[in-house]
Chain A
Amino acid sequence: MLFIDAYIYSPFAELPMQTKRMTYPGRFLPYALLAPQVIVTLIFFIWPAGQALYQSLLREDAFGLKTTFVGLENFARLFRDGSYLNSLSVTAVFAIGTTLLSMTVALLMASTVNRMIRSRSTYTTLLVWPYAIAPALAGVLWWFIFNPSIGIVPYMLEMVGYRWNHRNSGSDAMLLVIFAAAWKQISYNFLFFLAGLQSIPQSLIEAASIDGASPTKRFWTIIFPLLTPTTFFLLVVNVVYAMFDTFAIIHATTAGGPAQATNILVYKVYADGFVGLNLGSSAAQSVILMVIVVALTMIQFRFIERRVNY
C-alpha cells in the first residue's frame, strides 16, 4: 500500500510549475509546520533504524546485561545458517506464488469486466471489497476453511483421496498461506488492471478486430503489451506485499511451521527476536530486509516511474 501512493504521486514527477514557484519566505513557520512529522519520524523511524543497525553488530543476552561487539559476525552467521537460507527460499517461493496467483486471477477478472458495460460497476463493487479485510483475518478464514478436521476443503479433498494436513505437510502449509495472501490481494490488482485496461484506446482494439484478430489474439498482441507498465508496477507492489504485509497471515496461522516451511523472512525477524530473544541475529535480519526494501524502492522509482509517466 505504501508504494502505490508513492508511485502515483511521485516525488520525482516533473511538473512545469516546479522550476519557478512562488513561495512564502520562511523563517520560523515552515519549521514549525514540518516539526510534527519530522519529530515523529526521527523518534520512531530513524532512531530505531539506527538502533537496528547498531544492534546487528552486537551480541547480547536477553536482558541486555552483557553486550559484546562482534562486527559482522551476526551477518556471517546468518548466511552459514541453514534455517536462514531456508527462510530466503521460502520467502521467494511464497512471494512468487502469491504474486502469480493473485495477478493472474485479477487480470482475468479485470479483462472480463472490461468487456461488460452495464454490469461493470456491480461486478467491480463485488470484487473490490476484500481489500478491506485485514491479512490477519484472511489468514484465519482460510485456515478455518482448510482445517484438517472441520474444514470444508479437506473434506472435499478426501473424497478424491487427498488427505490435507497443513500441520504435517510443509507444502500444504505453503499452499494455504499462498491462497490466503493471494486472495486478499486480488481486489487491489483487479483495480489497477482495470484502470490500466481502460486507459487503452478503444481505437487500437477496434482496428485490430477489423483486421480479423480474434479476442484472444487481440489480448496477447495488443492489450497485454500495453499493460506492461501496470504489470511491472503491480509485480513490485505484490512482491513487497508478500514480503512484508503478510506477517499477520503467517503469525495467525502456521507460525512459520511446520518445520520452518512457512518461515518467511519477516516472520523470522519476529520469531528470533521476540520469541528466541536473540536480538543480534534479529537485528541483522532486519538490516538485510532494509537493504531489500531499499533496492525494491529504487527499482520502483528508477525504472517503473519513467515507463509509466509518458
Chain B
Amino acid sequence: MNRLCILAGLMAALWMSPVAGQAPKSAQKAASKGTPAAKKSPAFKTPWGDPDLQGVWNDATSTPLQRPGGVGTKDILGDEEAAEFQAQLANDLTRDRRDGGPEVDVNRAYNDHWMDSRRLKITADHRTSLIVDPPDGRIPPAVPLSPERQRARAERAAANARFNAGLPDNYRDMSLPVRCIIRTDSPPYLPTIYNNDFQIFQSPGYVTIAPEMIHSARIIPLDGRPHLGKSLLQWLGDSRGHWDGDTLVVETTNFRTDDGVTFQGSNPETFKITERFTRVDATSLNYEFTVEDPKTWTRPWTAIIPWNKIDPAEQMYEYACHEDNYDIVHFLTGARAREKKGETK
C-alpha cells in the first residue's frame, strides 16, 4: 500500500517535471513548421477549446483611417494605382522632405528613422481607407454639439494651440499621451508611427491584450458577468467579451469623462465601442471596430485593420513613459524662458 502510494507520487512528480512538459512544445514546433496538414487544420484552438488568438501582432499600415481625396470613390485599388498611392502616403508620413524653412523642419522631427517600416505599406488588399462603413470610407457627419461640449472643445483647442506654439501654460495643456497617462492602449487600436505591437494572452475564461504602448494589459472576462457599477470609471474603460463563432466580440463601457479619454472627443456617457477579433490564418487576424455615439456622429461607423504576426525572434519590450518623461519639463521650462523674452506667439 505504502509502496503503491509512493510510486503513484513518483509518477505524478515525473508528470509535472520540465522534461514531461516539453513534449507538447516540441509537437507544437513541428506543427508551426507547416506541414500542409497542419496548415489546413481548422485548429487555432486553445487546449480548452477557445479560438486561439495568442501571439504578438502588429497593426501598422499606411492605409489611412479615412479615404483621402484623389482616389475618388474607389475602396480597393489595382496594383499600379496601389503602388502610386503607397508612395504618396509614405512621402506624407515620413515628412523627410527639405521644402520649407527650419521651423517647418523641426516639426518634421519624426522622420522615417522613427517609423515602423510596416507603417509605410498599405493593406495587403490595397484598401484606400480603414473605414469600411459608411461605404464612402469617411467618418459620418457630426451632430450639433451641446453648448457645454462646444465650450470644452474650444478650451481643448486653445490648449493644443498653446502647446503647438511651444508655450504651454502647464502640464494640463498637454494631451494624455504626452502626459503618459494613456497612449495606444485605449480602444479602438489604430496604427501609429511606432510601437504597433500587441501581445494577446489567453487563459480559460479570459482574453488579455497587452499593447506595447503603454504597458497596460486589458484583461477581458468571457464569463458573461455584468460591467462594473456606473460610478466606477476607468481610463481604458471596462471590457467584456464573448465568442461569436470563432470571433471574439468585446464591448467596452465605463470610460472616464476626462477630456481626451473617449475616441475623437465623443461623449463618454453615450459612446459605444464594439471590437471583433477574428483569426484569419497562421499569421494574420482581422481587427474590426464599430463606434457609435448619437451625440457625436449621425450614424455608427466601422473600420477593419489587419493584424500580422511578427517574427518570433522579435519581442515585445517594455514601454516606460512617465518614468523618464523629460519632455514635459523641457516643454514647460522652454515656455517659461520664451515668456521671459517676451515671446507670445
Partners in one complex: no
Q: A: which residues have CB within 8 A of B?
A: none
Q: B: which residues have CB within 8 A of A?
A: none
